[in-house]
Amino acid sequence: MEEKDVIATLCKLEEMDRDAIGIYEDAIGKTADDETKRKLEEFRKDHERHVQAIGSVLREQDWRHVEATQEFRTLMQAYRREVDMAEGGDDAVVVAMDVGEKATNAEYAEALRMDVDRRVRQVLQNDFADEQRHLRFIESRMPPSLGGGVGRLHAEGGPGGRPAGSGSGD
């Protein structure tokens, strides 16, 4: 993979995480359940850390930031609108967040297919692990009518001590 493609991918991830901070702030403001609110605040902090980590890699490599495509910006704006327009309490917020977390997980999974040095790969792996944890939690909070709550004990480290499909117990 060419360096310019690696830079473009890292910049896209950084922008996605930066947008996610605002989206999480909106979601936190619309959430009534204390546990869900606490987790969303934790996840917002993860996105702040991701922005710092990716920015650090870009600076260390002396790579100049490139703008994300209009298609990507439109996707993030649509995701934010979904959260902004979520009415109907916590269930509506969780459904909107689920869409974004799936997209974020897909972007990180794709980025991990790149041939990059060890430092970049470590940042991507750490961030992706956070994103997987976010998605497990969001899915555990999905309304039962949408299949949510089915794996709630496993998603929260219940019986077996580990979330289903993961290698860690967070």
**What is the tens place of the pLDDT at every residue in 129-168?**
999 999 999 999 988 776 665 433 333 333 333 333 444 4
Token couple for 78: 């649509």
On average, the pLDDT of the chain sits at 81
Report yes or no: 105 and 128 within 8 Å, Cβ to Cβ: yes
Measured between alpha carbons, how far is 7 from 4 in angstroms, rounded to an integer?
Answer: 5
Report yes or no: 66 and 54 within 8 Å, Cβ to Cβ: no
Nearest Cα residue to 54 out of 101, 100, 129, 122:
122
pLDDT band at 13 (very low <50, low <70, confident <90, very high): very high
Q: How many residues does the chain have?
A: 170
Measured between alpha carbons, how far is 111 from 113 in angstroms, rounded to an integer?
Answer: 5
> pTM of the entire structure?
0.77
CATH topology for the 3-155 domain: Ferritin (1.20.1260)
